[in-house]
Every structure is written in C-alpha cells, then in structure tokens.
Chains A and B, each alone.
Chain A
Amino acid sequence: MIHRDPLPLRLVRIGGLSVWLLITIFPLYWIVVSSLKAPADIAAYPVQYLPLRPTLENYISLFAKSDFGQNMFSSLVVATVSGLAATAIATLSAYVLSRFQFRARGLVVMAFLVTQMIPAFIALGPLYQLMVALDLVDNRGGLMLVYVAMCIPFSTIMLKGFFDNVPDDLDEAAMIDGCNRLTALVRIILPVMLPGLAATFIFNFVNSWNELFLSVTLINSSDKRTIPTALNGFITSFNIEWGPLSAAAVLTVIPTMILFGIASKWIVAGLTAGATKG
C-alpha cells in the first residue's frame, strides 16, 4: 500500500500548510508587536516589523488611563458564572434528550435550534425594556442571566452529542448495582464525559467573554463593562489610540487562546456531533 504521496504533491502540501500558517499567525504577531512599540514608532512609516525599542508603555497607560483592570475582572466573573451555570443547566436537558425517547423530543431540539437562526438583534430592544422593568440594567448579575439563556441551546445540543457517545449499558449497569437514575448520572456518567463538560464550559466561557452587542446594550457604567464593551468605547471616542488598544487586544486574546488550545479537540468533537446528530 502506498502511504506516501509522490514528491510534487508533498511539496504542494508542505507549501500550502506553511503559507496558511504564516497568514494565520501574522495578525497575532502584528498586534503583539504593535502593543510593544512606543507611540512614536507605532505611527512610523515605513512600518517597523520588529519593535526597535520595545516598551510596556502602552500596557501601563492602558491601566492608568482607563478602567481596563475592572473590565477584565467584570469579564472574568461574568464569563465564569454564566459558563458554569449554562453548562450545569444544559447537562440536565441534554441528558434527558439523549436518554429518553418521548414524543416531543424532536420538537424540543427544534425549539433550541430555532434560537440559533433568528438574528439576536430582533430581541435587543424588547430585552432592554424587560431588563429595565426587572431593574437589572447596568447590573452584572442581569448580564449573566442573559448570557446563561444565550448559551443554553447550543450547550444542550453539544452535550447531547457527548451523552450519545456514552453507551446506555453504563447507565443500566450502574442501576443494577443499586444506583438510581440521578446517582448513576452524577457518579458514573458525568465523570466519563468530563472532557465534554470541560469543552462545553470553555465554549460558553469564551462566547460570554467575547460577546459585544448585549453587553453594550445592558451595561452603562464604565467600571462594570466587560472587555468587548470597553474596546468598543475605545473606538467610538474620536481618535483611536492604537497603542493601548493593541495592548488591550493582546490581554483579551491570551486567556481565551489558552483555554481553546486546551479544549480544541473536544470542542471539535462536540461541534461535529452537534452538526451531524442535532
């Protein structure tokens, strides 16, 4: 059996992959380099591809001149709490959808899928009015509630895929051994699909960490803002300061990159399961 491609094909493959790697990495490299440049160098033309005088000036002025420290804290709290809550709630609904056959099952899955297809902006105005009525505007707790609702449908579909991969026999064996359904779920099934739970949590965390339009609508005070809203504030001000903005971008991207790097394999597995079985 021929397991190696002929030389020209291998060259095409190596060349193609290398070019794509460069294209993918470059913007990240560029934002890091920009964040390390002094204000005079960032506006230099021709462009400097290496920071000649690397400095942390942009990072220092970012924290000194804006609420970015508090914005990072806001994002961390909001994304962690909503990610955990949505994963927990979706675990229950996904378990039911995977383990039981009932008449409304297809309908329930559809009800979740529909929310993914309607542009969220239809809901933006009424949602704002609802939050005003509930006195939850400009409130991180209110934003968390909205994010939990935002994350539940896709988490359910993703987790259902992971549940489907755990054989039914395992539940039955556990129940013969004296577990009831709930203890079987908690003690036997969930530990087996820990990677799936972690992937779902990370997916929710990153989505909440990155969400812009709901947060812009619902949060006003600059110290309560999440990171994307703060960034949006930076660009709506008359003159964009690219130095501090690059520093903020680097700090925003790094945590999510690490999390996604850890969970990438499981997330892909979950998404593929969601796409083919959902």
Chain B
Amino acid sequence: MTEPSVAQRRAGSPGTGTRSRRRPFTLRTALLIAAFLAPAFVFVAIFTYYPMLRGSQMAFRQWNLYDLTTTPWVGLENFRAIIADPSSGRILLNTIGWVLGSIIPQLVIGFAIALWLRRAFRFRGIYQALVFYPWAVSGFLIGLLFRWMFNSEFGVVNDLLTRIGLIDTPIPWLADPNLAMIAVVTANIWYGVTFFAMMILAALQSVPDELLEAAAIDGSGRARTLFSVMIPAIQSTLVLTVLLRVIWIFNFPDIIWAMTKGGPADQTHIATTWMIQLTQQGNYGHASALGLTVVGLLMVFAAIYLALLSKDNTR
C-alpha cells in the first residue's frame, strides 16, 4: 500500500531493529520531529555544548581566573605545560592502574555473581535487592564511607585484619604512598561490581535455555558451555559494557576525591582529580588542555578496542 519513503530507505543506521516502519514522510512529520527534539537540544546546547566548546577553546589560550583581562591565544603551550609537568608521568600511570585495577576485578566478580544468579532460587529476589544498593549511593559518599573504614586509628579494616592475625600494628592506609592506591581501588571495585553483575545477568537471562540444553546434550562440559556458548551469546553486551565502563571509570574522580584528594605525594592522583585541582586553582587553561588530552586518549582507546574486537570476530 504505502511505498517506503526515500528518507526511510536511506536511513540504514545500525540498531534500527527489524520492525517495519511505514510512515509517509511529510512536512508535518518533519515539523513534529523538530518540535519534539527542540526542548532537549535547547537545554543541552546552552548548559552542556556551549560550556564544553568554550572550555575546549580555553585549552589554547592563556586563561587564569586571577587575570582574565589578558587571555591571549597560546597555541599548544598549555598542552606542553601539562606534559612537561613533573607529576604528569606519575598521574598517567596512576590513571591506567586505577582503570585496570578496578575494571578487571569488577568484571570477573560481577560475571561470577551473574552466573550464580542466573538460575532462579528461593531468595533470589531478596538477594538482588540487598546487593543492589551500592548503585543508589553516590561515589563521593562511598569514598567517605571507605575513608572511615580505612581510618588508621579507629578504622574497622585495621581492626578486622588485627583480629584475623594478619597484622600486628594498625596500617596508615591513606597516608602511606604505597598503600593509598590499594585502598581507593578496593573501594571502587566494591562500588562497581553490582553494575557488571546486573548488566551481565540481564544479558545471560536473554540467552535461550534451549541453546544451553543443546550444548549439554552435545556433551559439552560446563567450562566449554561457558566459553563457547554463553560468552559468545552475550558478547556484544560484554564489549559495550566494558567500553562504557572504562570511559566512565577514567572520568570518575569522586571516590578518590573523598578519600585522598589525590595524595599522599600524588600517589592517587588520576587525570580527572588533577583536572579538578587545576580548576580549583583557577588555572582553566591547563585544566582544559588536560581534559582534551583525556578525550583524545579515550577516543584512541575506543577506536583500537573496537577495531581489535571486530577483527577478532571476522577471523
């Protein structure tokens, strides 16, 4: 009856689903689309795009809060200053350690919990409700909570370790440059496992039971079923969740800010805590240059990550 319009045929964007859409594309429809998108874009344009673009521009100017009368263009000078800063190497390593040290345990523990929760049992609903709550808590508050638990004098972590007999004297977790990173990463792992568990569980529950039964009938062992049936079936969710999570953790200073503010001796400073510090010092130019560098690094990472995985798939 209705011919698909030109606009429909050309719009072959990914993830459109399989449902057919038979809509004549008239001026009225175009106006409706514009009108419905307008409020969202007005808000995002004023309060997100505009400050972000202006912020990016600051990266190429001398821009210090305490001298706004002269903000000359300085080219790449801010980037040079960031790279030449004596702490930048340390901070880059810290950031990589923070991301990898957090995401790998989160993924592994989250996957195990999702697998264990896949099959229904009597208290599963209650269990999920109980382990779900870290999601509702802000990263900053989680940081405060762990700062209290890792307190060297009255902290429960030291007390537990003493009672088990692992340590004799209280450890100054957050004051010791070698241990502070362990403490903040521990807090972040605890915080992020829920997210992985829930996403992977949702994906696993969409794997049809027949597929697993077929594998069992074929005589596949549990480990083989896991690696050659289950994981491939949820691969797209896994890939995307890990990618989004890496970006998110990279940009997530809240826990560190609450626990150590980057100290002691820069040992827990990551790119975004450094950015906050530079912003607070009024040094917007350097902060923006650092921010753009982070965006660049993340884009390169995302491109390599997706390229490697798609190559893996077509082989």
Contact = CB atoms under 8 A, between A and B. Distances in A.
A272 B205 CA distance: 12
A47 B15 contact: no
Interface stretch (B18-26, B83-91, B306-314): B18-26
B31 to A, nearest CB: 11
Task: Identify whether the interface residues of A are mostly helix, strand, loop, or mixed.
Answer: helix
A16 B194 CA distance: 14
B240 A30 contact: no
Interface string B128-159: 11111111111111101110110101111001
Contact of B133 (A28, A209, A269): A28
A152 to B, nearest CB: 5
B153 A45 contact: yes
A112 to B, nearest CB: 8
Contacts of B116: 13, 16-17
A17 B115 CA distance: 10
Contact of A20 (B10, B109, B137, B201): B109
Given A102-B11, A122-B291, A96 B50 contact: no
A275 B8 CA distance: 24
A194 interface: no
Nearest to B29: A100
Contacts of A253: 133, 136-137, 141
Nearest to A211: B138
Contacts of A20: 109, 113, 131, 193
A173 interface: no
B73 to A, nearest CB: 17
Query: Of residues A46, A101, A253, A256, which shows the largest number of chain B Cβ atoms within 10 Å of its Cβ?
Result: A101
Given A122-B56, A264-B132, A276-B240, A47 B154 contact: yes
A121 interface: yes
Contacts of B47: 127, 130, 145-146, 148-150
A27 B203 CA distance: 28
B300 interface: no
Given A2-B216, A167-B19, A125 B279 contact: yes
Contacts of B49: 115
A150 B48 contact: yes
Contact of B51 (A45, A101, A112, A126): A126
Interface of B: 7-8, 10-11, 13-17, 19-21, 23, 25, 29-30, 32-33, 36-37, 39-41, 43-44, 46-52, 54-56, 58, 63, 65, 109, 112-113, 116-117, 119, 127-142, 144-146, 148-149, 151, 153-156, 159, 162-163, 190, 193-194, 198-199, 201-203, 213, 216, 222, 236-237, 240-241, 244, 247, 251, 254, 258, 272, 275-276, 279, 284, 287-288, 291-292, 294-295, 298
Interface of A: 1-3, 9, 13, 16-17, 20-21, 23-25, 27-28, 30-31, 34, 42-47, 89-90, 92-93, 95-96, 99-103, 105-106, 108-109, 111-112, 115-127, 130, 145-146, 148-150, 152-153, 156, 164, 167-168, 181, 206, 209-213, 228, 231-232, 235, 242, 245-246, 249, 252-253, 256-257, 259-261, 264, 268-269, 271-272, 275-278
